[in-house]
Structure 1
Amino acid sequence: MERTAAGDDAGLGPRVAVLRRLRGMSLRALAAASGVSSSFLSQLENGRTNASVASLRKIAAGLGVSPAQLLDDSAVHTRGVLRAADRPRLQLEGAEKFVVALPPLGNLEVYAGRFRPGGSTGPEAYAHGDSQEILVVTAGEIVLELGGERYEMRVDDSIEFLSSTPHRVRNTSDADAAVLWINSPPTPDEAPHGPPATG
Structure 2
Amino acid sequence: MLPGAPPDDEELGARIRALRTERGMSLRALAGELGISPSALSQMERGKMRPSVTRLFQIVSILEVPLAAAFGEDAPEPEEQVAPGEVVVTRAGEVPAISLGHGVEYRRLTAVPIPGVEIYESTYPPGSSSSQDGEYLRHNGHELGSVLSGTLTLDLGFERYELGPGDSIRFPSTTPHRVRNTGDVPAVAVWVNLP
**Normalising TM by the smaller chain, what interval?**
0.5 to 0.7
Q: Which residue of 157, 173, 177 corresponds with 1:167?
A: 177
C-alpha deviations, 1:86-128, integer Å up to 9, x for none?
A: 4231323132122223664324211111111101111321122
Q: Which residue of 23, 26, 42 corresponds with 2:78?
A: 26
Contact 1:94–1:117 under 8 Å retained in 2: no
Matches within 5 A, 1:87-102: 87-101=96-110
Which structure dedicates a bigger proportion of its chain to strand? 1
Match of 2:139 in 1: 128
Q: Which residue of 124, 129, 153 corresponds with 2:163?
A: 153
Amino acid across the alignment from 1:115: Y
Contact 1:111–1:180 under 8 Å retained in 2: yes
Q: 2:127 aligned with 1:118, yes or no?
A: yes
> Unmatched 5+ residue regions in structure 2?
1-74
C-alpha deviations, 1:151-179, integer Å up to 9, x for none?
A: 01100100100111111110001111111
> CA offset at residue 138 of structure 1?
0.8
CA change 1:86–1:183 in 2 (3 A) is: closer
Q: Determine the C-alpha separation between the residues in 2 that align with 1:128 and 1:25.
A: 24
Amino acid across the alignment from 2:121: A
Match of 2:92 in 1: 83
Match of 1:137 in 2: 147
Contact 2:104–2:122 under 8 Å retained in 1: yes
Q: Determine the C-alpha separation between the residues in 2 that align with 1:111 and 1:179.
A: 8
Q: Determine the C-alpha separation between the residues in 1 that align with 2:193 and 2:151.
A: 21
**Which TM-score applies when normalising by structure 2?**
0.53
Match of 1:178 in 2: 188
Q: Determine the C-alpha separation between the residues in 1 that align with 2:112 and 2:175.
A: 24
What's the secondary structure of 1:93's corresponding residue?
Answer: helix
CA change 1:150–1:100 in 2 (3 A) is: same
Q: Identity, % of aligned pairs?
A: 31
CA change 1:166–1:84 in 2 (3 A) is: farther
Bigger CA radius of gyration: 1
> Unmatched 5+ residue regions in structure 1?
1-22, 31-62, 65-69, 188-199
Q: Determine the C-alpha separation between the residues in 2 that align with 1:150 and 1:183.
A: 20
Q: Determine the C-alpha separation between the residues in 2 that align with 1:102 and 1:121.
A: 25
Q: Determine the C-alpha separation between the residues in 1 that align with 2:174 and 2:117.
A: 16
What's the secondary structure of 1:97's corresponding residue?
Answer: strand
